[in-house]
Amino acid sequence: MRNSFAVQVGDSIIYLLASVLEPPSSVVTTAVSDLRLSTFVAAVYAASLDKTLSRSPAITYLIPHNPAFTSLGLVMSYLLLPTARDELRSLIRYHAIDEIVYLDEFPIGGALRYPTLDGAEIYVERESSNATLAIHGPTIGGHPANGETRDARLIEGDILTSSGVVHIIDQVELPPSMNIGVAKLLQGAKATTFADLIRAANMSWILEGKPPPPSSDLSTSGRRKRIKRRAKADRAYTVLCPTDKALSRLNLTYYLSNSRALSSLVKLHIIPTDAFAPLSSDGHPLPLVDEITYSTLLDVKQGGESQYGTVAFRRWGEEGWLVGIKSARGTEGASDSARVVGYGRATPWFVPVERETPDPLGVEGEMRLAGGGGVLTIDSVLLPYEPGWFRRWGWIGVVVGLGVLGGVTMGAMGWKVWKGRERVEYQPVEGEED
């Protein structure tokens, strides 16, 4: 009510306004007018939910801002595909509480469950210290069912719409029913070529989120003993996926006709990690810090056949990363390093912890959150590294050469000394003429 003033008439107060008050717009129109919510708007139209949301009465919308969607990486890229429309609709509906709740109406000091248009419940609480909203999905055994490592936070609230209210939050909450695996992440990366190479190498279990089959040479994870569990496995797999453009520069005919070379190539691009390690807070499938190293399936420590199967990550700029083969020399980075250009984390799963003895009260064992791995898109193909003949055998030649040189030197010196003694000990015969 800008430029307004009040006039009291009897028991009534009349406010004179400089302009006409307009009723609130629909949620879609409200979001369109806010540049912070453009990705949400694009997702709504991609899911064909614009009319549905505008007509749904008495709804509270928890709308993530643009950086929240960006942080999903390849997950969001997949959800925007036409084949993932149903999953995208579920995501959007999960952010719509099926009643109007203003900020002051959220409970203080304790989370309250609210039904969503998706059918699943979402938890919201208002912190007593600063009244900040914290939003998260359901938990299993104290762990978030959607694998998010932190709660979403309020950015701005109580934005009125024609059918309810909007609260802007800083994180996307994935529905607990959503299941994003490596295969879907590769679809989001549009990496059809490398997915085909994985299948050709008889490693489709990577795409399916399964452990290696008993017939695989990887089923024992190298020298590690298998741990019996009722879950998929105790390993999570992250795929270093070269883009189709990068693979177009590779002689694929050679690899498709050479099963051993193809297997080595694919193994070098797959990183196994402990599935029960803490999930990264930045949405990456595995924790990245400067100079951190990971063994790939090609590494002898993982049951592979190469001493050069470890990759190292190095920070590139403020937010970028480089990955390269550790200890590779002499290639000038032509085939042993690449730049990370995208990422996406697969949906984690839950593993029941088996008790050694049954609980006398019949209480079920606790659940452990197991990471699902994911995908790191890279802009170049890492080729299995083999050191040149000099690195492998040259040291032997150097040692032998030094030995021979030392022997020759010692022999020459000995000869010189012997000849010198011969001249000193010589005495001329009496009567010998000069």
Give the domain-ending residue among 119, 139, 169.
Answer: 169
Residues 186, 165 within the same domain: no
284-325 pLDDT, tens digit each:
999 999 999 999 999 999 989 999 999 999 998 888 999 999
Q: Domain range spanning residue 190?
A: 182-378
- Mean pLDDT, residues 7-23: 80
DSSP 118-185: TSSEEEEEE-TTT--EEEE--EETTEETT--SS-EEEEEEEEEETTEEEEEESS----TT----HHHH
Residues 200, 94 within the same domain: no
Q: What's residue 395's pLDDT?
A: 46
* Three-class secondary structure of residue 115 per DSSP: strand
- Mean pLDDT, residues 138-161: 87
Nearest to 369, CA basis, from 162, 203, 146, 59 = 146
Token duo for residue 1: 């009510």
Is residue 7, in this structure, part of any structural domain at all?
Answer: no
Of 7-11, 170-174, 303-307, 422-426, the one with minimum mean pLDDT is 422-426
Q: What's residue 132's pLDDT?
A: 82
Residues 157, 218 within the same domain: no
Residues 162, 206 within the same domain: no
Residues 214, 71 within the same domain: no
Residues 146, 195 within the same domain: no
Judged against a pLDDT cut of 90, whether residue 117 lies above it is answered with: yes
Residues 302, 340 within the same domain: yes
18-39 pLDDT, tens digit each:
777 778 899 999 999 999 999 9
Is residue 387, in this structure, part of any structural domain at all?
Answer: no
Residues 150, 195 within the same domain: no
Judged against a pLDDT cut of 60, whether residue 232 lies above it is answered with: no
- Mean pLDDT, residues 149-165: 92
Confidence class for position 147, pLDDT limits 50, 70, 90: confident
Whats the size of the chain, residue-wise?
A: 434
Judged against a pLDDT cut of 80, whether residue 428 lies above it is answered with: no
Residues 111, 221 within the same domain: no
Number of folded domains that form the chain: 3
d(CA 342, CA 294): 18
- Whichever domain contains 265, its CATH number is 2.30.180.10
Q: What's residue 403's pLDDT?
A: 62
Q: Which residue has the higher pLDDT, 67 or 351?
A: 67
Q: What is the pTM of this model?
A: 0.81
Is residue 20, in this structure, part of any structural domain at all?
Answer: no
Residues 197, 89 within the same domain: no
182-212 pLDDT, tens digit each:
999 999 999 999 999 999 999 999 998 877 8
Q: Which residue has the higher pLDDT, 149 or 164?
A: 164
Residues 242, 281 within the same domain: yes
Give the domain-ending residue among 169, 202, 221.
Answer: 169
Is residue 333, in this structure, part of any structural domain at all?
Answer: yes
Q: What's residue 9's pLDDT?
A: 79
The full 3-state SS of 379-414, as one line of letters, equals CCCCCCCCCCHHHHHHHHHHHHHHHHHHHHHHHHHH
Is residue 1, in this structure, part of any structural domain at all?
Answer: no
Is residue 176, in this structure, part of any structural domain at all?
Answer: no
Is residue 8, in this structure, part of any structural domain at all?
Answer: no
> What mean pLDDT is reported for the chain?
84
Q: What's residue 218's pLDDT?
A: 64
- Which H or E run contains 313? strand 310-316
Give the domain-ending residue among 169, 193, 220.
Answer: 169
Residues 89, 113 within the same domain: yes
Is residue 334, in this structure, part of any structural domain at all?
Answer: yes
Judged against a pLDDT cut of 80, whether residue 405 lies above it is answered with: no
